Chains A and B, each alone.
Chain A
Amino acid sequence: MIVPTEWVLMLSAVLFAIGVVGVLVRRNVIVIFMAIELMLNAVNLSFVALARSRGAVDGQVVVFFVMTVAAAEAAVGLAIIIASFRNRTTVNADELALLRG
């Protein structure tokens, strides 16, 4: 089954844009995190589509790595959020603005 590559790329762009909106708009840092994951997945989709169109597996290998790193990042990020929550009992991004100038 052949899927036109441009369509997939467009889907990827849309998902990415939705992810961006999520990062900018939501106040709950966990949800922000999830939006970031969404963006990463959109990129993964692009890679897979282009790998398919080229017929090379390299793109899939990259996706492999992206997933791995995303896992590591999620683990550490959530640990940070938990640690921060202990001090300030908030996950509201607006309230976590200590580095204000």
Chain B
Amino acid sequence: MPEAHAAAEAVIIHSQVLWLIPFFPLLGFLIAVAAVNAPNIVKITSPLAVLASFLVALASVVTVAGAPEGARLAQTLYTWMAAGPFHADIAFRIDALSAVMVLIVTGVGFLIHVYSVGYMGHDESCSRFFAYLNLFMFAMLLLVLGDNLLVLFVGWEGVGLCSYLLIGFWYAEDANAAAGKKAFIVNRVGDMGFVLGLFLLTWSLAPAAGGTLSLDFAHIQAHAASLAPATATAIALLLLVGAAGKSAQLPLYVWLPDAMAGPTPVSALIHAATMVTAGIYMIARLNVVFALSPTAMQVVAVLGALTALFAATIALVQTDIKKVLAYSTVSQLGFMVLALGVGAFATAIFHVMTHAFFKALLFLGAGSVIHGMSGEQDVQKMGGLRTKMPITFWTFLIGTLAIAGAPGLAGFFSKDEILWHTWSSGHTVLWLIATITATLTAFYMFRLLFLTFFGEIRADHDVAHHVHESPPVMTIPLGVLALLSMVGGWVGLPHHWLWGNPLGEFLAPVTGHPHAAEHGVLGEGALMLIATVLAIAGATVAYVFYIRMPGLPMVLSWRLRRVYELLLDKYRIDELYNAIIVAPYVRLSTFLWKIVDQELIDGFVNGLAGAVGANGRLWRQAQTGNVQHYALAFLGGVVLVLAYYVMR
């Protein structure tokens, strides 16, 4: 079992510059809003803002790395709330965990901003795009730099908002707007669990902390051990709901494939490299709480493994290049969740990093392909782009190799570490599921590669004629990411190889040490070998299917058409949700609208008005305009008064 690490004696270095890291993108957002009609300015300031963020982050990380183990940079801006026993500040920290995250976010973010200058540069709302993108960076940085769960939550909600704005960026199309709404609403479901978890956590920690209610990580770290196992389980499961929403696990993954409606750089940045990893980060950050509940950890691990397999099977048959990558992302996130569940928190973060590199690369490459194919996203209409878009091809190939787990590349080491920890912590069945998923991953990624870049082009003549390589502003980020995908994995080698696992050791003070790695029946090396062989097998099958015998997939899909259609329809989960959740809700809403609001309430209000009007019409009849009638009425009153006096 992993030990929870109490970092009570950590060195705290006070920094004056941490606030600049989220501030620069915020400034970029404000400039983009102000200069919305001057896109040429925005195209320069927005990427620069992120670059500035990256540089400050880099300097801060270097400081932390040079400090004693377990040290962190901290900056408190001001007290946000101080209400009785509850206290919350706007405060940032850079410790080992947030150091890794902040570099990924700002680094990959910067590359994608540069790419977007080329990809979205000709769009008429390009300033708005960069505004949203910068705003997203601001929120994401709040999330990873927050020193307490409250700042994290602000960032959490902020990235949800920006995700909605960016998915529905081309909102003139109803489908895009609907996808944005779906993302936001499904996230909301997850957030509900998250918030409940936060409440329970704060409240449960209070007794041990002398009644103080706080969401500071230091506070949580110090008092977590006082949680009863049942409470810890409840908290962990609620937090898991939140993570499942944000990081697209079963059953809340449905928004991610639809989110591909947004521009491709958005898919690369938000739905591959950064936002979707927020759930992973959150669980890694709160590992002390999770470590207290073996039950919750088990749930996490099983959820991750099942999601990984589930999504991979859907990816096998999809024909939209971005959808394949979307399901691939869900699957890889499942791997990360699996790693968290078996206690290998640092490994999960390692995979976050490598995944950010190669998934961003793959998405940007897909964007390059779509750009070159004049907007075509259907793989069945592609082919033969290898010669026409060489840089895109080679970088995409590197990305494919990385995700498939080719030895030496980034994905190899991180995925391998996950499989190793799963195996050696005794979760044999989960290891099997994960390994099968890895094989499928290799297959569908190479399928994608072959269909897109090999063979003869299957598009219309006009499109085919127009195919061209993308400009340098797009291909240079591709190159940088390809390089990172190649070397990025070398910071996490198995610990008795060469220089061991510097990343894991760097993260250990925050994420704890996973169980002592033992040599089980199979050593780590043996597992590596199995995985590699299976990956090669998967790639080979793809080669056979799509290069050698191109008719074979069609035959197979016809033979197994029930299965094929089920996979193609993504197990009809969306339809299921529609039927059991959305449709009844719509019926209820319609009822409330048509019956309660229109008939009852409006009827009542209009009825009141009608009654008043009718009453007026009734009494108005006395106003004949004839003075003699009035005199008669007058007389009546006089008689009555007289009669009264007579009677008295």
Contacts and interface: CB of A to CB of B under 8 A. Distances in A.
A100 B625 contact: yes
Report the interface size class on chain B.
Answer: 10 to 19
A93 interface: yes
Contacts of B632: 24
Contacts of B631: 23-24
B628 A23 contact: yes
B622 A101 contact: yes
Nearest to A94: B626
A44 B626 CA distance: 28
Contacts of A93: 626-628
Given A20-B635, A24-B632, A24-B635, A98 B625 contact: yes
B623 interface: yes
Contacts of B624: 97, 100-101
A100 B623 contact: yes
A99 interface: yes
Interface string A48-75: 0000000000000000000000000000
A101 to B, nearest CB: 3
Interface string B612-625: 00000000111111
Contacts of A98: 625
A94 to B, nearest CB: 6
A32 B624 CA distance: 18
A87 B573 CA distance: 84
Interface string A67-101: 00000000000000000000000000110111111
Contacts of B635: 20, 24
A22 B309 CA distance: 105
A97 to B, nearest CB: 3
B616 to A, nearest CB: 9
A24 to B, nearest CB: 6
A101 B627 contact: no
A101 B625 CA distance: 7
Nearest to A36: B631
B636 to A, nearest CB: 11
Nearest to A99: B625
Nearest to A101: B623
B357 to A, nearest CB: 84
A22 B411 CA distance: 113
A99 B623 CA distance: 8
Contacts, number: 31
A20 B634 CA distance: 11
A84 to B, nearest CB: 12
Interface string A5-18: 00000000000000
Contacts of A101: 620-625
Contacts of A99: 623, 625
A101 B626 CA distance: 10
A73 B393 CA distance: 109
A50 B628 CA distance: 31
Contacts of B623: 99-101
Nearest to A100: B625
Nearest to B626: A97
B144 to A, nearest CB: 74
A20 B623 CA distance: 21
A61 to B, nearest CB: 26
B9 to A, nearest CB: 90
Contacts of A96: 627
B288 to A, nearest CB: 81
B141 to A, nearest CB: 71
A69 B620 CA distance: 34
Contacts of A24: 628, 631-632, 635
A93 B626 CA distance: 7
Contacts of B628: 23-25, 32, 93
Nearest to B635: A20
Nearest to A27: B628
Contacts of A94: 626
A97 B625 CA distance: 4
Nearest to B621: A101
B612 to A, nearest CB: 16
Nearest to A97: B625
Contacts of A23: 628, 631
A7 to B, nearest CB: 20
Give the residue among A20, A93, A96, A101 with the most B Cβ atoms within 10 A: A101
Contacts of B626: 93-94, 97, 100
B90 to A, nearest CB: 67
A2 B620 CA distance: 53
Contacts of B620: 101
Contacts of A25: 628
Nearest to B623: A101
Contacts of A32: 628
Leading 5 A-B pairs by shortest Cβ distance: A101-B623, A100-B625, A97-B625, A101-B620, A99-B625
Interface of A: 20, 23-25, 32, 93-94, 96-101
23 contacts: A20-B635, A23-B631, A24-B631, A24-B632, A24-B635, A25-B628, A32-B628, A93-B626, A93-B627, A93-B628, A97-B624, A97-B627, A98-B625, A99-B623, A99-B625, A100-B623, A100-B624, A100-B625, A100-B626, A101-B620, A101-B621, A101-B623, A101-B625
Interface of B: 620-628, 631-632, 635
Given A99-B623, A100-B624, A101-B624, 19 more contacts: A20-B635, A23-B628, A23-B631, A24-B628, A24-B631, A25-B628, A32-B628, A93-B626, A93-B627, A93-B628, A96-B627, A97-B624, A97-B626, A97-B627, A98-B625, A100-B623, A100-B625, A101-B621, A101-B625
